[in-house]
């Protein structure tokens, strides 16, 4: 009896050993001191048809940072080549941001994003950012001056992502993919401009499917933030009217008629007056007047923006989703875009300003 048990256990172990020793048994070595977790990639158009990808290593704060750049055909090839030139193995498990050059984005970014997504190590919360200008130069400069510049970039994006902070809308991988694959919606991604000194927010890049078609800046971007994405801006600056509104919330109501030939957008905007540099004094009477000026101005800008979108056959406002009802047939993607391009658009703003703490003459 005892012998039988022993033989069976032995046999079991042997069988399993035979089966298992053929290839590597141990899990991947991820000893944190032997790897270099990369927290961002920068993808740029290289020479010929290649891509040029860069990242900063090492991740340890107190070591001197280097910017590595490589010319590659494939994105993941870059990951491999980096390992061959650096003493720590690079891992993408902590990848937090991908910066894509505007030129690359204009050609389409679906493939880059897909190759990132295939790796189960990549987080869905990876931020996608479009950059213009000399981002490499900026990084090189920053690495000399600051200890971990790229980490602060991440913190900035994270800050604006959490609880809807206004100003800009960071887009992560999941959100981008969802917008890309959901009918009637087109993705948008924030755009940053880099030069030797600064890395500044530029506006929002509007995509048609996966290719960049237009970058909204300044006023257009503010309208887009208010109507299209966040419905919140910390500051709405209207230089033309010499006025700045603060803490602007909007409630947007898209109203489509039954044949989808007419769109009526009603925007209820609530905020407070932050700054006024105009000639009229700040009192209740003037404010009433100013309100209607702002309303008219916003209506005009919004309408213009919508027209632009129609012209470019793109719908980042996701207006098409308003055609969906719980029961009933839905339009196909093509049908919708056809209707969208020829739609009449009417915009109405209604501004509510909080009371002024004190008036001035």
- Should residue 123 be labelled a site residue for other proteins when binding is judged by CB under 8 A? yes
* CA distance linking residue 141 with residue 319, whole number of Å: 43
- Should residue 357 be labelled a site residue for other proteins when binding is judged by CB under 8 A? no
- Should residue 325 be labelled a site residue for other proteins when binding is judged by CB under 8 A? yes
- Can you tell me whether residue 155 is helix, strand or coil? helix
Interacting residue with other proteins among 49, 64, 259, 328 (CB under 8 A): 328
Q: How many residues sit close enough to other proteins to count as binding (CB under 8 A)?
A: 59
By CB neighbour count within 10 A (0-12 exposed, 13-18 middle, 19+ buried), where does 188 fall? Answer: buried
Minimum Å distance from CB 10 to other proteins?
11
* CA distance linking residue 34 with residue 14, whole number of Å: 34
The answer to whether the beta carbons of residues 32 and 16 sit under 8 Å apart is no
Nearest to other proteins of 33, 279 (CB atom): 33
C-alpha atoms less than 13 angstroms from C-alpha of 158 in its C-beta half-sphere: 10
Binding mask 137-176 for other proteins (x = CB under 8 A): -----------x--x--x---------x---------x--
Token pair belonging to 83: 């390992």
Minimum Å distance from CB 79 to other proteins?
14
Nearest to other proteins of 12, 278 (CB atom): 12
Nearest to other proteins of 9, 74 (CB atom): 9
274 contacts: CB under 8 Å, gap ≥ 6: 235, 244, 245, 246
- Should residue 118 be labelled a site residue for other proteins when binding is judged by CB under 8 A? no
Minimum Å distance from CB 35 to other proteins?
7
Interacting residue with other proteins among 87, 327, 344, 357 (CB under 8 A): 327
Nearest to other proteins of 1, 361 (CB atom): 1
* CA distance linking residue 165 with residue 153, whole number of Å: 16
Reference 122, options 98, 97, 99, 93; nearest CA is 93
Token pair belonging to 267: 């925007």
- Should residue 62 be labelled a site residue for other proteins when binding is judged by CB under 8 A? yes
Token pair belonging to 42: 């920068």
In Å, how far are 255, 264, 324, 339, 343 from 258, measured between CA atoms? Answer: 10, 12, 12, 12, 12
Residues that bind other proteins (CB under 8 A): 1-2, 4-5, 8-9, 11-12, 15-16, 19-20, 22-33, 35, 37, 39, 59-62, 91, 93-94, 96, 120-121, 123-125, 148, 151, 154, 164, 174, 177-178, 181-183, 321-322, 324-330
């Amino acid at each position: 009896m005892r012998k039988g048990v022993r033989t069976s256990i032995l046999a079991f172990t042997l069988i399993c050993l035979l089966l298992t020793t053929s290839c590597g048994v141990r899990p991947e070595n991820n000893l944190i001191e032997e790897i270099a977790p990369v927290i961002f990639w920068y993808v740029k158009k290289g020479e010929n048809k290649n891509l040029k990808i860069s990242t900063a290593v090492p991740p340890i704060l107190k070591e001197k940072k280097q910017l590595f750049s490589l010319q590659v055909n494939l994105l993941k090839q870059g990951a491999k080549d980096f390992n061959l030139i650096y003493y720590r193995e690079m891992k993408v498990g902590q990848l937090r941001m991908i910066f894509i050059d505007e030129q690359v984005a204009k050609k389409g970014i679906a493939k880059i994003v897909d190759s990132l997504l295939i790796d189960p190590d990549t987080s869905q919360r990876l931020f996608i950012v479009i950059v213009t200008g000399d981002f490499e130069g900026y990084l090189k400069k920053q690495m000399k001056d600051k200890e971990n510049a790229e980490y602060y970039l991440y913190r900035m994006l994270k800050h604006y992502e959490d609880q809807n902070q206004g100003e800009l809308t960071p887009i992560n991988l999941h959100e981008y993919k969802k917008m890309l694959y959901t009918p009637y919606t087109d993705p948008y991604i924030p755009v940053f401009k880099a030069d030797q000194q600064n890395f500044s927010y530029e506006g929002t890049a509007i995509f048609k499917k996966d290719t960049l078609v237009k970058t909204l800046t300044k006023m257009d971007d503010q309208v887009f933030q208010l109507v299209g994405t966040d419905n919140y801006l910390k500051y709405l600056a209207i230089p033309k009217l010499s006025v700045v509104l603060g803490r602007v919330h909007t409630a947007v109501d898209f109203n489509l008629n039954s044949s989808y030939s007419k769109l009526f957008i009603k925007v209820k905007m609530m905020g407070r007056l932050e700054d006024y540099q105009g000639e009229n004094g700040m009192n209740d009477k003037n404010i009433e007047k100013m309100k209607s000026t702002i309303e008219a101005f916003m209506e005009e800008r919004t309408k213009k923006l919508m027209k632009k979108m129609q012209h470019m056959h793109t719908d980042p406002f996701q207006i098409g989703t308003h055609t969906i009802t719980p029961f009933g047939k839905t339009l196909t993607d093509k049908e919708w875009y056809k209707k969208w391009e020829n739609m009449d658009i009417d915009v109405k703003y209604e501004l509510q300003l909080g009371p002024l703490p004190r008036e001035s003459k």
